[in-house]
Structure 1
Amino acid sequence: MDSIKKLFTDKYSLTEESFELLRHLMVEEQKPKNDLLVKVGEVHHFIYFIKKGAMRSYYTNNNGKEVTYWFGFEGDIATSLGNFVHSKPSLENIELLEDTTLLKINKTALLELYNTNLELANFGRKLAEQALLEMEEQILATQFTDAKSRYLQLIDKFPEILQRVKLGHISSYLGITQVTLSRIRSEK
């Protein structure tokens, strides 16, 4: 739990006291590779912190093709936002790409904690803001950046991604074919 404590106090700037309040809500779970943490059509009442492992969020388009739009690794938070915020059935799947260790927090307990602790309420707001910023960056990159630049940005953000994620998932995330991804990788 020390690495998680360091993550929350360093990355998320929580005091040790607030982290301890949050820690008491956390339940550690082990999930196997290929498991679906969240499934389309289901309602989940949890938020997850990735202690160890990798995952992706994806939806299936009208042509039956999976479209990856998010990767999560150690220290990231995973949830279906619409599902979590509005308790509506998920529009996405969250798939585990490796055997994964998660810290699960119940939504109701977390919201109660937000109501009693201003620092943790601000922590929740910062998490939501960060998710929005990442989504905006992904949309802008897809719309206004060429494929090679998107690939290089991804490698810069996640240096180990090629060792941990299938190329098909990476090409889907970048909005390109695997052939184009192979060509870009060979140009390096």
Structure 2
Amino acid sequence: MEALVNLILQFGNLNKQQIEFLLSKVEMLELKKDEYLSEAGKVPRYVGFVLEGVFRFCYYNNRGEEITNYFVDEGNFVSDHEKFESQMVASEYVQAVTDCKILVFNKKGWDQISDTIVGWDMMKANMVKKCLTLAMERRSPLVSEDATTRYLSFIDAFPNLVNRIPLSYIASYLGITQQSLSRIRRNIR
């Protein structure tokens, strides 16, 4: 809980009562590897803060191939935020890559925080902005670089994930085959 509070306090000030109110709206959720926090075709139920584990955002393209779009690890929020806020059906999956422990807010609790804490909406907007900026910084090098450089950029962006997630997910994220990724890894050792 302390890590969640510390992250939130980077975006504004809350007094002790506001922090207690915020924490009264959170619950612990444990997901096993391969379980979903959110699924395509369903309305996302939670905004989560990752205590332990790794999640990935993925979808299926028009050829039925699974594409990994993004990873989220400890100390970060995980949510299909736009669909959660508007309570619309999600178009991608948020899947546990490892066993995960997260603190979650359901929609009712999340809205009660907004209705009760003055300034929460601005703090929330700044948190979302930071998450989107980080995602863009991590994704944009992948567009124009060769495969080896994309892999090295991945290692820089996600240094703690390389040995924690399947190579197939990394290859999908980088837009290359698993065989190409294996060759790249052999060549840079």
Q: Is the shorter-chain TM-score for this pair beyond 0.5, marking a shared fold? A: yes
1:17-55 Cα shifts (integer Å, max 9, x gaps): 343332111101111111111111001232111111111
1:134 equivalent in structure 2: 134
Deviation at 1:81, TM superposition (A): 2.6
Name structure 1 gaps, 5 residues minimum: none
Q: Give the conservation status (yes or no) of the 8 Å contact 2:28–2:102.
A: yes
Q: Distance in 2 between matches of 1:56 and 1:83?
A: 16
The percent of aligned pairs where both chains have the same amino acid is: 28
Q: Check 1:154–1:20 CA distance in 2 against 1; reply closer, same or farther (3 A cut).
A: farther
Q: Distance in 2 between matches of 1:118 and 1:147?
A: 47
Q: Distance in 2 between matches of 1:187 and 1:29?
A: 40
Q: Distance in 2 between matches of 1:71 and 1:135?
A: 9
Q: Check 1:125–1:96 CA distance in 2 against 1; reply closer, same or farther (3 A cut).
A: same
| 1:34 partner amino acid | D
Q: Distance in 1 between matches of 2:172 and 2:52?
A: 23
| 2:130 partner amino acid | Q
1:43 equivalent in structure 2: 43
2:173 equivalent in structure 1: 173
CA RMSD of aligned residues (A): 2.1
| 1:164 partner amino acid | R
Q: Distance in 2 between matches of 1:138 and 1:91?
A: 21
| 1:85 partner amino acid | E
* Matched pairs, number: 187
3-state DSSP class of the match of 1:30? strand
1:118-157 Cα shifts (integer Å, max 9, x gaps): 4432221112212322343355223222222221222122
Task: Give yes or no for the alignment of 1:148 onto 2:148.
Answer: yes
| 2:145 partner amino acid | T
TM-score by length of 1: 0.87
Q: Give the conservation status (yes or no) of the 8 Å contact 2:138–2:154.
A: no
Q: Check 1:13–1:82 CA distance in 2 against 1; reply closer, same or farther (3 A cut).
A: closer
Q: Distance in 2 between matches of 1:14 and 1:186?
A: 48
Name structure 2 gaps, 5 residues minimum: none
1:73-98 Cα shifts (integer Å, max 9, x gaps): 11111111332132111101111111
Q: Give the conservation status (yes or no) of the 8 Å contact 1:8–1:19.
A: no
Please say which of residues 32-41 and 147-156 is displaced more in the overlay.
147-156
TM-score by length of 2: 0.87
